[in-house]
A and B are shown apart, each in its own frame.
Chain A
Amino acid sequence: MTGATAPPLAADTPGSSPVRKAGRPALVRVHEVSKVFGDQSNAVHALDKISLDVQPGEFVCILGASGCGKSTLLNLVAGLDRPSAGTIEVAGRTSLMFQEAALFPWLTARGNVELALRLDGLGRAERRARARDLLDLVNLGEFAAKRPHELSGGMRQRVALARSLAQRVDVLLMDEPFGALDAMTRDLLHDEVERLWREQELGVLFVTHNVREAVRLGDRVAMLSSRPGRVIAQFPVELARPRRIDSPEVATLAATITDQLRAEVARHGEH
């Protein structure tokens, strides 16, 4: 870790200028990573020489149309899968959140959080105390004894958030975590995630197909091409926080990004 910079990211695309915090090594460093599924005759190139960094304390949103390998990328960073080529360095602990909360239905909200702590080797008393703190952190202290099916979708995602934080994460990987929620709940959870990101000093890699959501949350928005997935553009979001998803500034930047995203999608209809 000498502070060497990663290769320039899609420098040919207008609007791309990766945000860098000089002198600090990257938290996540994805370097020339490719991922191919299937064998040679019917191989699918999900990712093609993709490079992307997340700096400590940085909130990076990954944006792309269907088939851009967004979820594949998160799986690779989370260590659930191996890249076909290239290197991934993660300086810290990761946790991956899904579109569905993926809570275990046989455990209460507290039990789900405690399981993460148990698998991390914590003793019983410590688990109890930590789980209570974490559920309080996501404002669900009084629902600790509820089972997942007794909670609403937004509440389940907050329990999942607490469960991820229980893993003492440095990098939170989020795979369209609010895609299935109604607009009101999603809006509140944006505030919640932003608060936790700031308080816990996390790095976040947040995958979404919702352009406004990306602009609302990200320090930087990376746009991926589809089949194969590559970073084709990066947009620094320099709007002051806290932002509102319905503010004109967010809408203006989102419109610019959407235009490029549409152009990228249209490219696939040409042949």
Chain B
Amino acid sequence: MASTDVRADRLDAELAGLDALELPVERRRSRAGRLWAATWPKLLATAIFFAAWQLLVWSGWKPDYLLPGPADVLETLFDNLDTLIPAAGTTLWRAIQGFALAIVIGTVIGALVARNRVLRAGIGSMISGIQTMPSIAWFPLAILLFKLTEGAILFVVVLGAAPSIANGLINGIDNIPPLYLRAGRVLGARGIRAFRYVILPAALPSFVGGLKQGWAFAWRSLLAGELLVLIPGQHSLGEQLDVNQQFADSAGLIATMMVIFVLGVIVDALFFGTADRFVRRRYGLIEEATPA
């Protein structure tokens, strides 16, 4: 028996040694270093954009009152903050409601289509069709159905975002490596438990990608809607664009557009970009460390 123990101990030592040799070496930069590496190209790009804009103004292509320079616009932006902030609040709140609804609807439809052959044959291709439909084309119908209410706006936001979310889930489920499904069956995961413990988590990276794309569609549909569906007493960013145009206030108009752009980018980059990277890192889809 003693010789078996010695052999077992040696095996343990050998395995531990091999593990230590084979483990990838961590090579991660500090948090500040990574932040700077991600930030400076953006700062540079912004600076180049503002410089080009200023040059265009100086060239005298259009008169100042039609195309104001960055300095004038930023000044107007700060002057208008007291109207822009509540307007942005209204718009963001609508975006959250519409997007939340789109997540629920898109996820349910995506899950059903991915798992049901008849549904897939019936409406699978229609989902992509709806996605290609310009959201602005829905508004006449939405206004007839819902009058000039938030309902009309939300209707179009959901139609814009839900197909992307459904498609993200469908693609995610379609692209699950068959090996995972087999491994799940070996472990006894069938039916709803297979869905909960194998299929949904395996589809998550693609689903997050669908959410990111869905957000872009939702934001675009929303602003189009706010321009068309003016609801008295509710000041939104889209309505603000309309007001700026009515008053031929170019500086105010560009300032409002900057707010729309920045909000869209912040939500996309900070929220969905972070979620996307987080999921990919956890799933080992990002090359982060190299084998020794």
The yes or no verdict on A and B being binding partners is yes
Interface residues in chain A, defined as those with a beta carbon under 8 Å from any beta carbon in chain B: 78, 80, 95-96, 98, 100, 102-107, 115-116, 118-120, 139-140, 143, 147-155, 158, 163, 167, 184-185, 188, 191-192, 195, 242
* Residues of chain B within 8 A of A154, CB atoms compared: 18-19, 22
A190 to chain B, nearest CB (A): 10
Indicate if the CB atoms of A116 and B187 lie closer than 8 Å. Answer: yes
Indicate if the CB atoms of B187 and A167 lie closer than 8 Å. Answer: yes
Q: Which of A95, A103, A147, A192 interacts with B282 by CB under 8 Å?
A: A147
Indicate if the CB atoms of B284 and A104 lie closer than 8 Å. Answer: no
Indicate if the CB atoms of B24 and A163 lie closer than 8 Å. Answer: no
Please, could you name 8 A-B residue pairs with CB atoms under 8 Å apart, sorted by A?
A96-B186, A102-B180, A105-B283, A116-B187, A140-B19, A147-B284, A188-B15, A192-B15
Q: Mark B10-22, 1 if CB is under 8 A from A, else 0.
A: 0110111011001
Residue in B closest to A155 when the chains form the complex, CB atoms: B19
Q: Is the interface of B mostly helix, strand, loop or mixed?
A: helix
B106 to chain A, nearest CB (A): 21
A247 to chain B, nearest CB (A): 15
Indicate if the CB atoms of B186 and A106 lie closer than 8 Å. Answer: no
Check B197 for interface membership: any CB of A closer than 8 A. Answer: yes
Indicate if the CB atoms of B183 and A104 lie closer than 8 Å. Answer: yes
* Residues of chain A within 8 A of B198, CB atoms compared: 104
Q: Which of A80, A120, A139 interacts with B12 by CB under 8 Å?
A: A139
Indicate if the CB atoms of A155 and B22 lie closer than 8 Å. Answer: yes
Task: Give the complex CA separation of A143 and B19 in angstroms.
Answer: 10
Contact status of A152 and B284, CB under 8 A, knowing A98-B183, A139-B12: no
Indicate if the CB atoms of B193 and A106 lie closer than 8 Å. Answer: no
Q: Which of B19, B179, B186, B188 interacts with A152 by CB under 8 Å?
A: B19
Residue in B closest to A138 when the chains form the complex, CB atoms: B15
* Residues of chain A within 8 A of B187, CB atoms compared: 115-116, 119, 163, 167
* Residues of chain B within 8 A of A195, CB atoms compared: 8, 11
Check B147 for interface membership: any CB of A closer than 8 A. Answer: no
Indicate if the CB atoms of B11 and A100 lie closer than 8 Å. Answer: no
Contact status of A149 and B12, CB under 8 A, knowing A104-B183, A104-B201: no
Residue in A closest to B15 when the chains form the complex, CB atoms: A139
Indicate if the CB atoms of B283 and A192 lie closer than 8 Å. Answer: no
Which residues of B (253-283) have their CB < 8 Å from a CB of A? 282-283
- A-B CB contacts (within 8 Å), total count: 85
Indicate if the CB atoms of B283 and A184 lie closer than 8 Å. Answer: no
Residue in A closest to B10 when the chains form the complex, CB atoms: A191
* Residues of chain B within 8 A of A153, CB atoms compared: 22
Check B204 for interface membership: any CB of A closer than 8 A. Answer: yes
* Residues of chain B within 8 A of A104, CB atoms compared: 180, 183, 198, 201-202
Task: Give the complex CA separation of A154 and B18 in angstroms.
Answer: 9
Indicate if the CB atoms of A102 and B183 lie closer than 8 Å. Answer: yes
Indicate if the CB atoms of A150 and B24 lie closer than 8 Å. Answer: yes
Check B62 for interface membership: any CB of A closer than 8 A. Answer: no
Indicate if the CB atoms of A188 and B18 lie closer than 8 Å. Answer: yes
* Residues of chain A within 8 A of B182, CB atoms compared: 80, 96, 98, 102
* Residues of chain A within 8 A of B284, CB atoms compared: 105, 147-150
* Residues of chain A within 8 A of B189, CB atoms compared: 119
Check B48 for interface membership: any CB of A closer than 8 A. Answer: no
Q: Which of B7, B14, B186, B202 interacts with A78 by CB under 8 Å?
A: B186
Check B185 for interface membership: any CB of A closer than 8 A. Answer: yes
Check B56 for interface membership: any CB of A closer than 8 A. Answer: no
* Residues of chain B within 8 A of A155, CB atoms compared: 19, 22-23
Q: Which of B11, B183, B193, B204 interacts with A192 by CB under 8 Å?
A: B11
Contact status of A95 and B8, CB under 8 A, knowing A106-B202, A147-B284, A155-B19: no
* Residues of chain A within 8 A of B179, CB atoms compared: 98, 100, 102
A99 to chain B, nearest CB (A): 9
* Residues of chain B within 8 A of A80, CB atoms compared: 182, 185-186
Task: Give the complex CA separation of A153 and B22 in angstroms.
Answer: 9
A263 to chain B, nearest CB (A): 34
Per CB-CB distance, the 5 closest pairs between chain A and chain B, nearest first, are A149-B284, A152-B22, A102-B183, A106-B201, A105-B283
List 7 additional contacts besides A106-B204, A154-B19; criterion CB under 8 Å. A80-B185, A96-B182, A98-B179, A106-B283, A152-B22, A154-B18, A185-B18
Q: Mark B172-192, 1 if CB is under 8 A from A, else 0.
A: 000000011011011111000
Task: Give the complex CA separation of A149 and B285 in angstroms.
Answer: 9
Which residues of B (76-97) have their CB < 8 Å from a CB of A? none
Task: Give the complex CA separation of A145 and B120 in angstroms.
Answer: 39
B16 to chain A, nearest CB (A): 6
Task: Give the complex CA separation of A119 and B18 in angstroms.
Answer: 32
Task: Give the complex CA separation of A188 and B7 in angstroms.
Answer: 12
* Residues of chain B within 8 A of A118, CB atoms compared: 197
Residue in B closest to A151 when the chains form the complex, CB atoms: B23
Residue in A closest to B283 when the chains form the complex, CB atoms: A105
Indicate if the CB atoms of B183 and A184 lie closer than 8 Å. Answer: no
* Residues of chain B within 8 A of A116, CB atoms compared: 187
B198 to chain A, nearest CB (A): 7
* Residues of chain B within 8 A of A100, CB atoms compared: 179
* Residues of chain B within 8 A of A163, CB atoms compared: 187
